[in-house]
Copies of this chain bind each other. A is one copy, B any other.
Amino acid sequence: RMPRSSHRRVGLVADEAGFWHESRADFGPSVEPGVQLETPEARRRLLHLIERLGLRRRMTPLEPLALAEADLARVHTADYLAAFRAQSAGTGGELGDFAGFGHGSYEVAVRSAGGVAAAVRAVLDGELDRAYALVRPPGHHAEPDRARGYCLLANIPIALELARARQGLGRVAIVDWDVHHGNGAQRIYWDDPDVLAISLHQDRLYPVESGAVEERGGDAALGATLNIPLPAGSGEGAYLAAFDRVVAPALRAFQPELLVVACGYDAAFLDPSSQMALTSATFGDLTRRMIELAEALCGGRLVIAQEGGYSPLYTPICGAAVVAALLEAEAETELHDPYGRHLHTPEQNLLPHQLEAIERAGAAAGTAPPTHH
């Protein structure tokens, strides 16, 4: 455990515009209108909670960078950007599955990417040690030429490409612990050996067709894509084992200059979109592990960019645990998790079939030898 410091400068992006974005997913004609999975509520309430706990005032507010279309075009196709801009100027539209948007969403999505870019820039500049980008819409499903799963622009890749162009950023690693597969970064960086894209996710949840251990990157970048699909029902045991046995060794081997987390909270116990069982304690643990790795590998440079998380009740508690960890303020933070006591239920242990899945991923990554049963 690293030495305590009360001098960590932690940035926070929390752009109001993001909460005014209207997302829509079409669940078909048997779902009565009036209920959506993705709303601003979970993120708003996370912000409320860190305010209430006194954490927000200890963070440095960051404004989104104002991105030019050229900044987006490093990642997205011109056709996609033009179509998105045009539909957004009208009454909204949909340019991919589960990814409807309203009037003005283009500008908001650009601010969201700009929020991650601001966090990356401040940390690379050394202005701040770490930063949390509480942005909306999320980005990790967005592909160069289409929107998917509430994601309209690829926030993290846009931010990283800007940093490569402007700040000379070299090797960077993305750890995506959103419960859904990080298909965006995988596709965008498929052939790029300088970006390690790791995704921990529920096996074949969404997108169903991607995220297998066999997907390891293009020939020029073999191993720079690393998928760890976990079985439905996984909890603390599986996540920490996957991190310690596969993620951490891969990061150490890669030697990045910056660590970025695609931080979804949808693997949490109460999240409706998945079958995972994490509590806020595990999100805190994962964050502390990332901090330690950043300290060890890249001068502590760590950016957390928020992705999914659909429980207005529980996402805030998980997010507050991450923020408290970034501030190294866990001890003095009065965070009450109603699910703390479930830590010792069966799904919090590492089960044999979960270990097998982790070992398969580790073997593919070359980080861990398969064990024999």
Contacts and interface: CB of A to CB of B under 8 A. Distances in A.
22 contacts: A20-B33, A22-B33, A27-B313, A28-B336, A28-B338, A29-B104, A30-B49, A32-B316, A35-B41, A37-B270, A37-B313, A91-B93, A203-B345, A208-B341, A231-B233, A231-B351, A232-B233, A232-B347, A270-B273, A275-B277, A275-B347, A352-B353
A351 B96 CA distance: 33
A272 B37 CA distance: 11
A335 interface: yes
A342 B208 contact: yes
A254 interface: no
Closest 8 CB pairs of A and B: A233-B233, A232-B233, A232-B347, A28-B336, A272-B272, A16-B51, A30-B336, A27-B338
A20 to B, nearest CB: 6
A242 interface: no
Contacts of A231: 233, 346-347, 351
Contacts of A164: none
A273 to B, nearest CB: 7
Contacts of A347: 203, 231-233, 275
Interface string A30-65: 111111010111000100110111000000000000
How many copies of this chain does one complex carry?
4
Majority SS at the chain A contact face: loop
Nearest to A346: B203
Interface of A: 16-17, 19-20, 22, 27-35, 37, 39-41, 45, 48-49, 51-53, 91-94, 102, 104, 203-205, 208, 231-235, 269-273, 275-277, 311-314, 316-317, 320, 334-338, 341-342, 345-347, 351-353
A35 B208 contact: no
A102 B313 contact: no
